[in-house]
């Protein structure tokens, strides 16, 4: 029998993989995709718990997460374009303007 | 039957998620990501959430992925130059494994509690998932819904402003 | 009208400031006269308080106002609670009285961004008035912090050469203290709620009746005491004062000396002492010691100053030592002396800063060595300066004497008499540093050719000094006008403090006579 | 009549306010001086009225309360006046001598730029002095006490463009303040110690009535009286606080006469007399007072021997005479002390005014001859008796009076003091001896002064020689009046022994003052020792000895400065060291400067530059630097690389969640 724990463990694994990607990759777009991965892992938890609790609220939340993800995608990618225009690169090693 | 489906798609999604991080070319990553999204959509269906599955495919696998791929094309990003990032690999890998362990413990030791509702598989079947979502969204969550729409509007304007050539 | 009098007084300057913001920036004359008019009107609105006989008979809070203000859940309740008694009455009036004078004093002195200056002055007045009339600890804290902001800008923008350093030092010193106080305030409130005592939001009067355990009292008292001690300022946390005074524009110095320093002493009287009577009892010897050290230390350091303003600033440290000593005597005379000395210091030191301002405007220097022989060129100035100097020294017949004397009488009656003996030597030092300064500035021949063409005081400058001079003599000759209305409030306060002290030592035990009769 | 008591100080106050506010505009010396003089004269008239009413009144103590001054709890202080024989006598002296000196000043200060200022201050001084004398409680007295100190400051600094004048003024005020510190301490301890017995008061009458509550000879009384005595030494220029008085001669001469001879400096004596009830109870303090008084008398006289500035001689003479008064107070001869105070006011005022007349003349002459010599230096004078006959005669009369030659006023008062010092219960033959030697020295240096100034060759510069005029009437009239008083003033208090010879003439003064002092003297046994009380022979013997010493002093002066003018030079040559020490005032000023003033300055600088700037501000700025340093160090964690931040976040999450699970 598949319980909510299975889904949650899966979501944890996917989330960790996303974290791994964010921490190791240098390409901003790939990092961005890894963040989407993490968001999706969270979504899975939401839906699994929503199902478990027989409650719709979690799914509504997923909906909002998706909205935010969409907005993020729009703005984030626009930022990347703007950045690429300046630096001819989207390698995060070149994003060090925050340095002291 | 359901457990087989779950394990199958779980394994596929883990595998493809790993390849998202591993592929050298961003386009490959994007395609692996689409695979993950689709697996997730299937998992949503196993969770009696067909509408979320549809949205998953449409928004993620459709809109967002198109956007990403489009940007990759636009910027003409090639395959990443092979660099040895062992340092980052070790640290990042270590940290994510630690994180996994920690969350595992967290999940194993906790019992999910919360307001238990009355939506069972039967209600979903009789009313339809879409209707239930719609009811919730346009009654209790109307204000957040409107705010979300404003957020999207802002994001659109922001994206336009940011990507315009001369600001 | 009377129901909202305090609100009206407090917020009238703020209202004025809001209107002032609509006056065009270039119309400096209008800006100045408008600010002056606002402060004058505030003064006139506050005058009925001075004539109200109720203060002479009742020590309780008058002109109460109470409205609910902020409430977070059922736990936190901050109320808008105002009131005035014989203790805050004169400080309130001092504020409304000094403000028009300071505005008038800036007529020529401020030349850049007059609008901002005037707006900040008005905001500052509201903050100071609010702090004096708040009966809610939270409201008090609000005004207390609000005061800091305009002063910070006044020093930081219109100050002298080293103004940024001074402004930041002033701000940080005071902020450190007030954060300690905030913690203590929250703790007191938390304790009050937990203990189930009948409280009224942060209303301070209900807090008076709390029975806080004495171990907690000690810490709370220390937090309040440090915060107020910084503001007073007491030795050794006084070093912001000389810098702030030296760098501040004249009006800023006057407000700072005349009113803001009183916040510290007022805070002791209104909050720290009645809230934590047991702790007070423990700490009085140390605080009195610091006061006395402040008197001697301030005097000695003032003696060696080369900058007139710094000298006056250090003299403030000494004078406020007398105030604190009188207050810590915890008896009628000492308390009344401390209170009247607060007003005195406001008038005399305010006047001294104005005087320094006058010569600074003329010569753009404050170094004593640059002057000498000014009495030849500026006889009226010399006379006024002399009177104010004498008042600062505490010559009988001027206000300074009444305050110092009452403080000392109080201290001698209490257990602090040995401190008082030492403090009395302060009168010698006061004469030394003030007269030495006066002599070096005013007497002798004119040695510096730049001083040859100095003009005597203008009509405006005389007008703004005259009210101060009137009060110097009024308080000196007939202080009963003021004491009469303070006494009931002081009595009540002492009752509050002493009724809760566990081991109240009768102040009139002839210790010397009993213990050391040698013969 | 007593209802008008308040008018006495009120008139000078009016004069002060008028001259202070309008004097500058008026510019008419006659009006300014006239108003000033008139006001003090009016208050003299009121004083006379009160005085004569009191003479014939059986009730000797009267109080008038004008208004409440401070009232806080048990502390109630009034603006009130006390009129009893003591204050009656004092106001007569103050207003009487004051009027004369005002009159004198019109002539003396003629043409000065600050004429109005001078008269305003002078009136203010009279006001303060009268408050001091008339105050019915110690605090009103303190108002006057500080007020006269202030006026003294203002008047010494009258020529404020002279640095020496400014310094002297400041010195006077500060030294006086040291005394005031004592006064204030005494006041406060007294208030508290009486209060602890249930009597909260500053009122003199109440203090006198309740003094018995304190223990005779106890610590409290001794401390209180010693503190008051410190106040008195400041105001009355006694050791150790006498140094300001000689410097105070920087002020105009009439000021020296009024303030630094006749009135203000006697305030200390007056204060002790006023508080006789307390002082009588403190034998230790009385002894200290007597010793300090006697020491000051001889010490100041010794300095006076060698001075060349005419006013400085008189200044040291004043200090010395004040020493006598304190000696009198110390041995319990209160009325004798007050008697000497009165006679001293007459002859010393006359001497100062006379010296002022001389200086005025010399100044005039030098001015005419366009010379800048020092008009106060006696070495430039000589033979003036022909030029200034009136000045000379009055001066001579007063000199005889101060030297204590029989039947001049000084003789009576001084001998009374010496007799008490010898035969009083608290007296001692050493005190007498010191007093007698000081009297001899006084006679010597005063006649030295007279001989150098008025006799012998005229040593003035030849160009100025013939321009020395006699002073105008406004100057000479007060001289004549004071000279007369200096001669006859003593007959008011003839000692018993002499009175018996003159057909049982009573000692009027003693009887007059008796209501004030009687009680204390009876209570504390402050009387002549019984074995000597009725020995007229002994009294005459002592009198004879002291007159003999005085005559010897005069003779010595005559030998050294008239008969054989070369003698002083030889004397100086053979005792160079001693002479230099005496001439330089025993180097006391230098000692004070080195020990007290410089150390105070050094401590002040140390506290400022050391403690304040280095330590306190060091800590404050150090905190700031530390925060800045830590911030500067932590800054390098901000690498700017995205991964580092992301890593930070993840570590944070892991740690928090881990803590949540395992912690």
pTM comes to: 0.82
Question: Does C425 sit within 8 Å of D146, measured CB to CB?
Answer: no
Angle between helices D389-403 and D334-368 (to 10 degrees): 150
Q: Is C396 helix (H, G, I), strand (E, B) or coil?
A: strand
pLDDT at C196 over 90: no
A88 touches chain D (CB under 8 A): no
Structure tokens, C364: 């753009």
d(CA B110, CA B101) in angstroms, rounded, equals: 14
pLDDT at C517 over 50: no
Mark out chain D residues that contact chain A at CB-CB < 8 A. 635-636, 638-643, 645-647, 650
Query: Which of B101, B102, B105 should we substitute to test contact with D (largest number of D Cβ atoms within 10 Å)?
Result: B102
pLDDT < 70 regions, chain A:
98-100
Q: 3-state SS string over D524-562?
A: HCCCECHHHHCCHHHHHHHHHHHHHHHHHHHHHHHHHHH
In a domain, A22, yes or no: yes
Per residue in C326-383, pLDDT tens? 999 888 888 999 999 999 999 999 999 999 988 888 888 888 888 888 888 888 888 8
φ, ψ dihedrals at C83, nearest 5°: 180, 160
Yes or no: say if C96 and C252 are a contact pair by the CB < 8 Å rule. no
d(CA D332, CA D273) in angstroms, rounded, equals: 10
Secondary structure element (H or E) that encloses residue C77, with its range? strand C76-84
> Which residue has tokens 């699994």?
A48
Yes or no: say if C394 and C404 are a contact pair by the CB < 8 Å rule. yes
D608 touches chain C (CB under 8 A): yes
C218 touches chain D (CB under 8 A): no
- Residue ranges of alpha helices (H) inside D74-218 are 85-108, 115-134, 138-156, 163-195, 204-210
Yes or no: say if C271 and C279 are a contact pair by the CB < 8 Å rule. no
pLDDT of residue C306: 87
pLDDT of residue B83: 60
pLDDT of residue C512: 42
Query: Is residue D296 classed exposed, middle or buried when 0-12, 13-18 and 19+ CB atoms within 10 A define those classes?
Result: buried
Chains with ≥3 Cβ pairs under 8 A against B?
A: A, D
Residue D81 φ/ψ region, left for φ over 0, alpha for ψ in the -120 to 50 degree band, beta for the rest: beta
d(CA C184, CA C140) in angstroms, rounded, equals: 13
Query: Is residue C332 classed exposed, middle or buried when 0-12, 13-18 and 19+ CB atoms within 10 A define those classes?
Result: buried
d(CA C505, CA D660) in angstroms, rounded, equals: 54
Structure tokens, C357: 């301002």
pLDDT of residue C508: 44
pLDDT of residue C472: 92
Domain count, chain A: 1
pLDDT of residue C129: 92
pLDDT of residue A15: 93
Going from N- to C-terminal start, the domains of chain C cover: 1-275, 277-483
What lies within 8 Å, CB to CB, of B126 at 6+ separation is none
pLDDT, mean of residues B142-151:
91
A3 touches chain B (CB under 8 A): no
DSSP string, D63-109: EEEEEEEEEETTEEEEEEEEESHHHHHHHHHHHHHHHHHHHHHHHHT
Beta bridge partners of C70: C78
pLDDT at D504 over 70: no
Per residue in D263-303, pLDDT tens? 888 888 899 888 888 888 888 888 889 999 999 988 888 88
Per residue in C69-84, pLDDT tens? 888 777 778 888 888 9
CA-based R_g, chain B, Å: 20
Question: Does D638 sit within 8 Å of A99, measured CB to CB?
Answer: yes
Q: Nearest-5° angle of CA D601, CA D605, CA D609?
A: 180
> Residue C471: pLDDT band by 50, 70, 90 thresholds?
very high
Q: In whole angstroms, what separates CA C169 from the centre of its chain? A: 19
Could you check whether the bond before residue A42 is cis, i.e. omega within 30 degrees of 0?
no
Quick check: do C and B touch, 3+ CB pairs under 8 A?
Answer: no
Query: Is residue C264 classed exposed, middle or buried when 0-12, 13-18 and 19+ CB atoms within 10 A define those classes?
Result: buried
Query: Which of D645, D646, D654 should we substitute to test contact with B (largest number of B Cβ atoms within 10 Å)?
Result: D654
Q: Give the ipTM.
A: 0.76
d(CA D464, CA D459) in angstroms, rounded, equals: 10
> Residue C515: pLDDT band by 50, 70, 90 thresholds?
very low
pLDDT at C37 over 90: yes
pLDDT at C442 over 70: yes
Q: What does the DSSP 8-state code read for residue B80?
A: P
Does the domain made of B1-78 have the CATH classification 3.40.91.10?
Answer: no
Between C326 and C500, whose confidence is greater? C326
Q: What does the DSSP 8-state code read for residue C136?
A: B
pLDDT, mean of residues B118-136:
85
pLDDT of residue C1: 55
pLDDT, mean of residues D521-529:
78
pLDDT at C269 over 50: yes
Beta bridge partners of C72: C76
pLDDT of residue C514: 40
pLDDT of residue C511: 41
Question: Does B114 sit within 8 Å of A55, measured CB to CB?
Answer: yes
Query: Which of D632, D639, D640, D642 should we substitute to test contact with A (largest number of A Cβ atoms within 10 Å)?
Result: D642
pLDDT, mean of residues D474-494:
84
Handedness of CA C346, C352, C358, C364 (dihedral sign): negative
CB atoms within 10 A of CB D78: 21
d(CA C512, CA C508) in angstroms, rounded, equals: 11
d(CA C159, CA C112) in angstroms, rounded, equals: 11
In a domain, A99, yes or no: no
Q: Compute CA distances D493 → D188, D335, D470, D488, D496, whole Å.
A: 36, 9, 34, 10, 9
d(CA D149, nearest CA chain C) in Å: 10
Q: Which residues in D285-383 belong to E strands, given as ranges?
A: none
pLDDT, mean of residues B1-7:
86
pLDDT of residue C501: 64
pLDDT of residue D4: 82
What lies within 8 Å, CB to CB, of C97 at 6+ separation is C43, C467
Beta bridge partners of C68: C79
pLDDT of residue C510: 41
The number of helix segments (H) and strand segments (E) in chain C equals: 24, 2
* Closest CB to B59 among A22, A66, A74: A66
d(CA D329, CA D229) in angstroms, rounded, equals: 11
Per residue in D58-98, pLDDT tens? 888 888 888 888 888 888 888 888 888 888 888 888 898 89
Question: Does A92 sit within 8 Å of D641, measured CB to CB?
Answer: yes
Residue of chain D whose Cα is closest to the Cα of B103: D657
Question: Does A93 sit within 8 Å of D638, measured CB to CB?
Answer: no
pLDDT of residue D417: 86
> Of the candidates A30, A49, A26, A27, which has an alpha carbon nearest to the alpha carbon of residue A38?
A30
* Closest CB to D150 among C337, C390, C421: C390
Q: Compute CA distances C352 → B105, C266, C309, C341, whole Å.
A: 72, 22, 9, 15
pLDDT at C516 over 50: no
Between C221 and C503, whose confidence is greater? C221
Query: What share of chain D has pLDDT > 90, as a percent?
Result: 2
pLDDT at C224 over 50: yes
pLDDT of residue C2: 67
B89 touches chain D (CB under 8 A): no
pLDDT at D118 over 50: yes
Between D500 and D127, whose confidence is greater? D127
Angle between helices C480-500 and C277-303 (to 10 degrees): 130
pLDDT, mean of residues D105-123:
85
Neighboring chain B residues of D658 at a CB cutoff of 8 Å: 102
pLDDT of residue A100: 59
d(CA B132, nearest CA chain D) in Å: 34
Secondary structure element (H or E) that encloses residue A10, with its range? helix A4-24
Cα first-last separation, chain D? 96
Yes or no: say if C23 and C115 are a contact pair by the CB < 8 Å rule. yes
Which residues in chain B (33-52) have CB-CB distances under 8 A to chain A? 33, 36-37, 40, 43-44, 46-49, 51-52
Structure tokens, D383: 């033979």
d(CA D22, CA D25) in angstroms, rounded, equals: 5
> Which residue has tokens 């040895």?
B84
Lowest-confidence segment of C182-191, C382-391, D22-31 by average pLDDT: D22-31
Question: Does D161 sit within 8 Å of C443, measured CB to CB?
Answer: yes
pLDDT, mean of residues B27-55:
91
d(CA C237, CA C246) in angstroms, rounded, equals: 17
The number of helix segments (H) and strand segments (E) in chain B equals: 8, 0
Neighboring chain C residues of D181 at a CB cutoff of 8 Å: 424-425, 427-428
Query: What share of chain C has pLDDT > 90, as a percent?
Result: 22
The number of helix segments (H) and strand segments (E) in chain D equals: 30, 2
What lies within 8 Å, CB to CB, of D42 at 6+ separation is D7, D11
Could you check whether the bond before residue D240 is cis, i.e. omega within 30 degrees of 0?
yes
Secondary structure element (H or E) that encloses residue D622, with its range? helix D617-634
Q: 3-state SS string over D406-440?
A: CCCHHHHHHHHHHHHHHHECCCCHHHHHHHHHHHH
> Residue D361: pLDDT band by 50, 70, 90 thresholds?
confident
d(CA D310, CA D381) in angstroms, rounded, equals: 10
In a domain, A78, yes or no: yes
> Of the candidates D279, D320, D340, D315, which has an alpha carbon nearest to the alpha carbon of residue D486?
D340
pLDDT at C507 over 60: no
Between C66 and C507, whose confidence is greater? C66
pLDDT of residue C506: 45
Residue of chain B whose Cα is closest to the Cα of A9: B104
Query: What share of chain C has pLDDT > 70, as a percent?
Result: 96
Q: Is D431 helix (H, G, I), strand (E, B) or coil?
A: helix
Per residue in B67-125, pLDDT tens? 888 888 888 776 666 565 677 788 888 888 988 998 888 888 888 887 788 888 888 88
pLDDT, mean of residues D200-208:
85
Lowest-confidence segment of C60-74, C501-515, D104-118, D432-446 by average pLDDT: C501-515
Which residues in chain B (71-110) have CB-CB distances under 8 A to chain A? 71-72, 74-75, 77, 80, 83, 85, 88-89, 91-93, 95-97, 99-100, 103-104, 107-108
Q: What does the DSSP 8-state code read for residue C75?
A: T
Per residue in D535-556, pLDDT tens? 777 878 888 888 888 888 888 8
d(CA D131, CA D45) in angstroms, rounded, equals: 17
CB atoms within 10 A of CB D235: 29
B21 touches chain D (CB under 8 A): no
> Of the candidates C389, C355, C370, which has an alpha carbon nearest to the alpha carbon of residue C462?
C355
Q: Which domain holds residue A54?
A: 4-90
> Residue C40: pLDDT band by 50, 70, 90 thresholds?
very high
d(CA D575, CA D616) in angstroms, rounded, equals: 56
């Amino acid at each position: 029998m598949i319980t909510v724990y299975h889904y949650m463990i899966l979501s944890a694994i996917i989330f960790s993989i996303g974290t791994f990607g964010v921490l190791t990759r240098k390409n901003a777009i790939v990092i961005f995709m890894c963040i989407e991965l993490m968001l999706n892992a969270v979504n899975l938890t939401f839906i699994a718990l929503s199902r478990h609790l027989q409650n719709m609220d979690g799914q509504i939340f997923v909906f909002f997460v998706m909205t935010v993800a969409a907005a993020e995608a729009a703005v984030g990618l626009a930022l990347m374009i703007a950045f690429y225009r300046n630096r001819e690169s989207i390698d995060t090693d070149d994003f060090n303007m925050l340095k002291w | 039957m359901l457990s087989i489906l779950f394990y199958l798609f779980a394994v596929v999604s883990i595998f493809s998620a790993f390849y998202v991080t591993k592929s050298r070319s961003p386009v490959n990553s994007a395609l692996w990501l689409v695979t993950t999204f689709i697996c997730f959509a299937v998992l949503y269906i196993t969770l009696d959430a067909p509408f979320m599955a549809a949205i998953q495919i449409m928004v993620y696998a459709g809109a967002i992925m198109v956007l990403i791929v489009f940007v990759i094309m636009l910027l003409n990003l090639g395959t990443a130059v092979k660099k040895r990032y062992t340092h980052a690999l070790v640290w990042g890998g270590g940290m994510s494994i630690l994180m996994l362990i920690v969350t595992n413990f967290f999940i194993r030791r906790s019992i999910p509690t919360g307001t238990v509702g009355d939506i069972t598989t039967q209600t979903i079947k009789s009313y339809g998932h879409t209707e239930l979502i719609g009811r919730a969204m346009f009654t209790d969550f109307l204000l957040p819904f409107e705010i979300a729409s404003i957020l999207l509007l802002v994001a659109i304007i922001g994206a336009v402003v940011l990507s315009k050539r001369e600001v | 009208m009377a129901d909202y009098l305090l609100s009206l007084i407090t917020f009238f300057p703020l209202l004025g400031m809001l209107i002032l913001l609509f006056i065009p920036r270039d119309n400096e004359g209008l800006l100045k006269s408008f600010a002056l008019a606002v402060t004058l009107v505030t003064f006139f609105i506050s005058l009925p308080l001075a004539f109200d006989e109720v203060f002479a008979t009742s020590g309780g809070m008058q002109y109460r106002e109470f409205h609910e203000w902020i409430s977070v859940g059922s736990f936190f309740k901050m109320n808008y609670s105002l009131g005035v008694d014989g203790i805050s009455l004169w400080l309130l009036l001092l504020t409304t009285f000094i403000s028009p004078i300071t505005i008038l004093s800036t007529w020529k002195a401020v030349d850049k961004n007059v609008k901002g200056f005037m707006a900040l002055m008005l905001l500052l007045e509201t903050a100071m008035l609010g702090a004096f009339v708040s009966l809610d600890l939270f409201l008090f804290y609000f005004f207390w912090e609000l005061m800091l902001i305009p002063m910070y800008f006044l020093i930081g923008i219109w100050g002298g050469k080293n103004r940024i350093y001074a402004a930041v030092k002033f701000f940080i010193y005071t902020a450190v203290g007030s954060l300690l106080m905030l913690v203590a305030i929250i703790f007191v409130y938390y304790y009050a709620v937990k203990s189930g005592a009948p409280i009224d939001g942060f209303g301070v009067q209900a807090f008076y009746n709390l029975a806080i355990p004495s171990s907690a009292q000690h810490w709370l008292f220390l937090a309040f005491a440090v915060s107020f001690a910084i503001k007073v300022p007491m030795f050794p946390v006084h070093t912001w004062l000389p810098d702030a005074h030296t760098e501040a524009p004249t009006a800023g110095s006057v407000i700072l000396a005349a009113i803001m320093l009183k916040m510290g002493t007022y805070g002791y009287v209104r909050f720290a002492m009645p809230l934590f009577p047991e702790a007070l009892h423990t700490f009085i010897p140390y605080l009195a010691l610091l006061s006395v050290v402040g008197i001697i230390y301030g005097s000695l350091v003032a003696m060696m100053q080369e900058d007139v303003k710094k000298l006056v600033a250090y003299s403030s440290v000494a004078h406020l030592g007398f105030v604190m000593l009188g207050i810590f005597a915890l008896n009628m005379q000492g308390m009344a002396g401390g209170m009247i000395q607060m007003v005195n210091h406001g008038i005399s030191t305010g006047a001294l800063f104005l005087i320094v301002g006058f010569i600074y405007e003329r010569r753009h220097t404050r170094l004593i060595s640059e002057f000498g022989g000014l009495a030849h060129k500026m006889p009226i100035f010399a006379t006024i300066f002399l009177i104010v100097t004498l008042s600062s020294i505490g010559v009988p017949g001027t206000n300074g004497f009444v305050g110092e004397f009452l403080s000392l009488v109080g201290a001698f009656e209490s257990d602090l008499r040995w401190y008082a003996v030492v403090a009395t030597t302060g009168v010698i030092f006061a004469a030394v540093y003030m007269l030495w300064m006066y002599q070096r500035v005013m007497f002798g021949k004119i040695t510096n050719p730049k001083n040859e063409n100095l003009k005597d005081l203008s009509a405006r400058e005389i007008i703004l000094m005259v009210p101060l001079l009137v009060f110097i003599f009024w308080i000196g000759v007939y202080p009963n006008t003021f004491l009469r209305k303070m006494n009931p409030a002081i009595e009540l306060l002492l009752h509050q403090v002493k009724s809760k002290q566990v081991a109240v030592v009768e102040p009139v035990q002839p210790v010397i006579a009993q213990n050391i009769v040698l013969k | 009549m007593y209802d008008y008591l308040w008018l006495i100080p009120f008139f000078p106050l009016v004069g002060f306010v008028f001259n202070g506010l309008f004097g500058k505009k008026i510019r008419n010396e006659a009006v300014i001086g006239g108003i000033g003089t008139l006001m003090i004269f009016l208050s003299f008239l009121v004083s006379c009225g009160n005085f004569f009413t009191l003479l014939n009144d059986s009730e000797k103590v009267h109080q008038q309360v004008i208004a409440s001054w401070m009232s806080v709890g048990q502390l109630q202080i009034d603006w009130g006046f006390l009129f009893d024989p003591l204050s009656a006598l004092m106001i007569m002296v103050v207003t009487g001598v004051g009027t004369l000196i005002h009159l004198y000043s019109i002539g003396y200060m003629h043409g000065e730029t600050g004429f109005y200022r001078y008269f305003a201050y002078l009136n203010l001084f009279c006001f303060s002095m009268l408050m001091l004398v008339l105050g019915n409680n110690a605090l009103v007295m303190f108002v006057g006490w500080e007020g006269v100190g202030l006026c003294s400051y203002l008047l010494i600094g009258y020529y404020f463009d002279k640095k020496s004048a400014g310094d002297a003024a400041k010195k006077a005020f500060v030294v006086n303040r040291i005394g005031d510190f004592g006064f204030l301490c005494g006041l406060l301890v007294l208030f508290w110690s009486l209060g602890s017995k249930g009597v909260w008061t500053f009122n003199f009458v109440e203090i006198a009535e309740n003094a018995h509550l304190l223990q005779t000879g106890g610590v409290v009384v001794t401390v209180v009286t010693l503190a008051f005595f410190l106040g008195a030494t400041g105001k009355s220029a006694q050791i150790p606080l006498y140094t300001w008085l000689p410097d105070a001669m920087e002020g105009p001469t009439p000021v020296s006469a009024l303030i630094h001879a006749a009135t203000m400096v006697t305030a200390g004596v007056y204060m002790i007399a006023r508080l006789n009830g307390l002082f009588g109870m403190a034998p230790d303090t009385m002894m200290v007072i007597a010793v300090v008084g006697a020491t000051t008398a001889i010490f100041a006289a010794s300095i006076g021997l060698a001075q060349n500035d005419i006013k400085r001689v008189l200044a040291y003479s004043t200090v010395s005479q004040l020493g006598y008064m304190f000696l009198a107070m110390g041995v319990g001869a209160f009325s004798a002390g007050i008697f000497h105070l009165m006679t001293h006011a007459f002859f010393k005022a006359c001497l100062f005014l006379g010296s002022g007349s001389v200086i005025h003349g010399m100044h005039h002459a030098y001015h005419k001859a366009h010379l800048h010599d020092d008009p106060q230096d006696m070495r430039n004078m000589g033979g003036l008796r022909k030029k200034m006959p009136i000045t000379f005669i009055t001066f001579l009369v007063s000199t005889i009076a101060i030297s204590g030659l029989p039947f001049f006023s000084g003789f009576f008062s001084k001998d009374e003091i010496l007799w008490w010092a010898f035969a009083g219960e608290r007296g001692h033959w050493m005190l007498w001896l010191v007093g007698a030697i000081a009297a001899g020295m006084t006679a010597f240096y005063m006649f030295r002064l007279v001989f150098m100034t008025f006799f012998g060759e005229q040593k003035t510069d030849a160009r100025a020689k013939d321009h020395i005029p006699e002073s105008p009437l406004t100057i000479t009239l007060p001289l004549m009046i004071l000279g007369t008083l200096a001669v006859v003033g003593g007959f008011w208090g003839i000692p018993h022994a002499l009175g018996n010879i003159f057909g049982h003439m009573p000692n009027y003064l003693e009887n007059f003052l008796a209501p004030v002092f009687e009680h204390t003297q009876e209570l504390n046994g402050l009387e002549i020792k019984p074995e000597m009380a009725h020995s007229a022979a002994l009294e005459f013997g002592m009198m004879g000895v002291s007159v003999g010493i005085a005559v010897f002093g005069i003779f010595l002066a005559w030998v050294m400065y008239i008969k054989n003018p070369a003698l002083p030079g030889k004397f100086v040559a053979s005792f160079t060291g001693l002479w230099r020490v005496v001439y330089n005032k025993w180097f006391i000023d230098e000692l004070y400067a080195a020990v007290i003033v410089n150390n105070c300055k050094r401590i002040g600088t140390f506290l400022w530059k050391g403690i304040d700037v280095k330590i306190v501000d060091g800590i404050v700025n150090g905190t700031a630097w530390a925060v800045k340093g830590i911030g500067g160090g932590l800054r390098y964690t901000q690498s700017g690389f995205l991964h580092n931040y992301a890593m930070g976040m993840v570590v944070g999450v892991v740690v928090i969640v881990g803590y949540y699970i395992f912690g």
